[in-house]
Amino acid sequence: MSSPSAPATAKNAYSRALPTHISVVDEREAKRISNAIDRAGESGKTTVLKQIKIIHGEGFNVEREEYRKIIRLNALTAIRELCLCMLQHKATVTFPINQEHFDYLLSLEGPGESTFMNGKKFSNLLRRRQSADDASADAIFNHAAPSIKAVWGDPAAQELFQRGLAKNMQDSAASFLDEIDRLAADKYTPTDVDILRARVRTFGVTEHQFKIELVTYRIFDVGGQRSQRQGWAPYFDDCSAIIFVAAVSSFDQYLREDPSVNRLYDALQLFESICNHRLLRSTSIILFLNKIDVLKRKLANGTRLSSYFKDYTGPNDYQYVTSYFQHLFFSQNKVPQKEIYLHLTHATDTRQMRVIVSAVNVIVQRMNLKNSGLM
């Protein structure tokens, strides 16, 4: 990031100024934090980056066609997760005619995640008991579209989804599944809203550059997978600010790789590691408690925070719950001089993010003036 310093995100979400030098962080500490980052995906960090690109960059016109495959893959992955949830809960389709569709979707083995690797997007292959090249991915989706629509519209599937039992489905799944006909159309071109909702996993290091109110930001998006540790470890050094993105809606969800660990507890542990890291003790943090739209929906549907956070005794109300989460995150910090700036965010809401990005820009510039001794 060029001078003056500005925040840059990394997995769940590190932010740094472009260093005048790079020193290697203690490898054991880097590995420990990397392991935590591995487990803390889907916070909405990448969506924040997309919003900055829409608001202050060139948008997605160049990549729009690429996102078609990613969005279709998201939809297919989501419906398959719902089918697996129905199996887990021994639920059967309400209409017998949908059983064949249900079986077909289950036969689509492992429609993996889309990835974002070193600045290039890749759609993992869709497979139906054999490999398929990327060129045929659209054809496979189009063949599956009637089955997706049938199962998604089945009352039994809807009941499980509305009860929040399909916890591995991504938050944007319903919006894609509701519009399967549009997604399957021959001339389908993703909108900005579609792209914001698309789930893309990050590998490697990707760099983004934006100009916000005459300030040039160079943002390094750093993947947190174990194989990528050597790539992101140096970015802990020379941090001027950190943006940390946590999905507060994940309070009732557990890690895929360790179902005994609550996702939000895990995010709290990661936040504690960052706040108190020896190289980041004087670094301010901008905390995004994200996915407040999903949180509101879960609370309104009757999902009780106290069922997952036993020490919470307040009302199951958005204002009380978010105040509780703020206290939880702030209490992880053991460095008295550290400044933490809080924002409650809905990262897919461009209007809200426009205001927040502007506020973050003001905060960062104030930090720069303070660090330079000008205030």
Sorted by sequence, the CB contacts under 8 Å of residue 333 that are 6+ apart come out as: 272, 275, 276, 285, 340
Distance in angstroms (rounded) separating the CA atoms of residues 175 and 72: 12
Bridge partners, residue 366, by sequence: none
Contact 315, 369 (CB under 8 A): no
Binding residues for Mg(2+): 46, 202
Contact (CB, 8 A) for 274 and 329: no
Where are the strands (E) in the chain, listed by range? 114-117, 120-123, 200-203, 205-212, 215-222, 241-247, 284-290, 340-344
Closest listed residue to residue 355, CA positions, set 183, 363, 43: 363
CA 135 to chain centre: 27
Phi, psi of 172 (to 5 degrees): -85, 5
Question: What's the rounded Cα separation, in Å, for the pair 51 and 341?
Answer: 19
Annotated binding site for GTP: 42-47, 171-172, 196-202, 221-225, 290-293, 347
Annotated binding site: 42-47, 171-172, 196-202, 221-225, 290-293, 347
Tokens of 209: 């550059």
